[in-house]
Amino acid sequence: RGVGYAVGIKNICFSEGFDDYSTARVRLSIIGGQPAVLVHTAAAEVGQGLVTVQAQIARTELGIDRVDVATADTTVGSAGSTSASRQTYVTGGAVREACRAVRAKLLALAGVPDGVLRDGWVCHADGVPVAQVAEVLGDSVIEETREYRHRPTFPLDPFTGQGDSHVQLAFAAHRATVDVDVDLGLVKVVEIVTAQDVGKAMNPMALAGQIHGGTVQGLGLALMEEIQVADGKVRNPSFTDYLIPTIADVPPMHVQILELADPHAPYGLRGVGEPPTISSTPAIVAAVRAATGAALTRVPVRPEHIVGLQAPGGPSPSAGTP
């Protein structure tokens, strides 16, 4: 058995002066006598939970339960790519700004510009109800479109290598425990513990899912995933031959979420999706190295890299049994 540790740092959003932004349109209307919100962006949902987060932001800012998120398309404006762990940051920021613009117009219409919205009601700042949103809005519609840009970044100095080049940095750490059979070259990851600074947990359940998923991707790189090429042809072009982790390969995981807010980010959040993939792989490889004493220099670690190695403090695999 071996235990390994690794720490990873990942830049979030695009860097070095890139003009990165996203656009959101938010529409407030009355449908069936009840207030309803429609959120429209061009941001692609690829399983990271962005649609849910957009709806959460709208409910938080507008105090209205019914929120629909329109199918993403670019008629509303650009959202950029779903990459760099950036969408919750920039598209979430755009949705927040559009919602706040809608809220300001609604409160002005109600005659309480310093008021708040709660559970479908317009209220004074102290929470005393003024009127229902449906009464204030009537047949009118409020629609606002906003762009959100993160704080500016700058290219690194070509001579010193220094500069304010990244929007933010995310931090993750992993501890992996593995069992290694040095006769067969088999590795079983038996436990992973991870801690990650997320700034603000917008949706704790989805966030934990992203950390689990990124960690499993790192496990795949450590022990399984490798494209085999011969004579310019990929020899393992399907999931029959290209092995990825399944639920049978995933060990118990213990996730510690740290909320150290970024003052420059919407709600203080940090990008979450990619950082776990950085430190999980070296933690697992370090655990294999600790178990075998092998100077492992590549990933994935394959059985042929392990077979015949002597576990630290143990008998040689070639030694006979009494």
| Catalytically annotated residues | 274
Which of 85, 103, 106, 88 lies closest to 41 in space, CA to CA?
88
Output the CA–CA distances (angstroms, integers) from residue 313 to 1, 41, 53, 245, 318, in the order listed: 11, 59, 51, 30, 15
Residue with tokens 């790192």: 218
Which of 265, 290, 269 lies closest to 3 in space, CA to CA?
290
Please, are residues 215 and 8 in contact by the beta-carbon 8 Å criterion?
A: no
Output the CA–CA distances (angstroms, integers) from residue 19 to 41, 168, 268, in the order listed: 18, 15, 20
- DSSP per-residue codes, 42-104: -PPPSSSSHHHHHHHHHHHHH--S-EEEPPP-GGG-----S-TT-HHHHHHHHHHHHHHHHHH
Strands, E assignment, 238-294: 253-258
Amino acid, single-letter form, for residue 43: A
Residue with tokens 């003024």: 130
